Amino acid sequence: MKRIVILISGRGSNMRSIVEACTGEGWPAHVVAVISNRPDAAGLVFAVERGIATSIVDHQSFATRDAFDAALAQAIDAHAPDLVVMAGFMRVLGAACVCRYEARMLNIHPSLLPAFAGLHTHRRAIEAGCKLAGATVHFVTSQLDHGPIVLQAAVPVLSGDDERSLSERVLAMEHGIYPRAVRWFVEGQLRTEGGVVTQTGGEPQLVL
Ligand code: GRF
């Protein structure tokens, strides 16, 4: 059984969708821990209710990013994960920490990368007049919100959309694609070559 550690900072709805799919679909994996950098992250409640180990590594308790990264890595490594899943984890990790989990750390970003890396993606997509928005699951590299793309979902930007309505439409897709991408990983169905990820079972890597 593969061991999954999930990192969150807040609501944790993506974490929840992964936990539910993992048990509901009988993946060859367990979510062994949920770690938050914020003590008040709402998602921790769900993890505790599910009997999943939780820990908090509060970034505010550390003087430097390196010190935070080291403590976070220690908390992650205590659970010996095969895969680390960032699910709304709102801290940027340094290169050393990212390298430690190379090819075994996933993130979801609410845009069609490489467009709109960083914050306020929905607002920026609307302001740019985009007709298409979406979400991307990718392997984490030391470049923020970049890295080999595993799976993308696209949704229309409708006239009259605001940040909230667009983010809700995108989030509903996130809850579909993130569990799927994590399942592919734990089932050994992902190959990366030259920065391009292939799903070896022939499942579509684009959801429309
Ligand atoms: C999601 O939109 C995710 O793509 C972004 O932050 C949000 C987290 O939501 N990185 P949740 O905590 O998973 O509900």
pLDDT digit string, tens, across residues 48-60: 999 999 999 999 9
Question: Which ligand 1 atom is the nearest neighbour of the CA of 110?
Answer: 4
Cβ atoms of 130 and 110 within 8 Å: the answer is no
- Cα-flanking dihedrals φ and ψ of residue 23, to 5°? -80, -45
Residue 107 has a pLDDT of 98
The answer to whether domain 1-101 has CATH 3.40.50.170 is yes
Q: Report how far Cα 49 is from the mean position of its chain's Cα atoms.
A: 21
CA distance 207 to 60: 38
Span 150-193, pLDDT tens digits: 999 999 999 999 999 999 999 999 999 999 999 999 999 999 99
- pTM above 0.95? yes
The residue to mutate among 14, 86, 138, 166, having the most atoms of ligand 1 within 8 angstroms of its beta carbon, is 14
179 lines ligand 1 (CB under 6 A): no
The residue to mutate among 150, 174, 175, 182, having the most atoms of ligand 1 within 8 angstroms of its beta carbon, is 174
Distance in Å, CA 9 to ligand 1 centroid: 9
Q: Whose Cα sits closest to atom 6 in ligand 1?
A: 88
Q: Whose Cα sits closest to atom 12 in ligand 1?
A: 12
What residues are annotated to the active site?
A: 109
Question: Which ligand 1 atom is the nearest neighbour of the CA of 171?
Answer: 2
Question: Which ligand 1 atom is the nearest neighbour of the CA of 14?
Answer: 13
Span 82-114, pLDDT tens digits: 999 999 999 999 999 999 999 999 999 999 999
- Pick 108-208's CATH classification: 1.10.357.10, 3.30.1370.60, 2.60.40.1180, 3.40.50.170: 3.40.50.170
Per cent of the chain over pLDDT 90 is: 100
Q: Whose Cα sits closest to atom 8 in ligand 1?
A: 88
In the chain, where are the structural domains located?
Answer: 1-101, 108-208
Computed on alpha carbons and rounded to an integer, the radius of gyration of the chain in Å comes to 16
Which residue blocks in the chain are alpha helix, DSSP H? 13-24, 43-49, 65-77, 95-100, 121-127, 163-186
CA distance 185 to 150: 10
What is the sign of the dihedral through the CA atoms of 145, 146, 151 and 155?
A: positive
Q: Give the residue from 90, 70, 79 showing the smallest Cα distance to 145.
A: 90
The two domains 1-101 and 108-208 share their CATH topology (first three levels equal): yes
Q: Give the residue from 75, 71, 6, 66 showing the smallest Cα distance to 41.
A: 6
Distance in Å, CA 162 to ligand 1 centroid: 17
Cβ atoms of 152 and 136 within 8 Å: the answer is yes
What is the sign of the dihedral through the CA atoms of 36, 74, 149 and 52?
A: negative
Cβ atoms of 52 and 24 within 8 Å: the answer is no
- The mean pLDDT of 2-14, rounded to a whole number, is 98
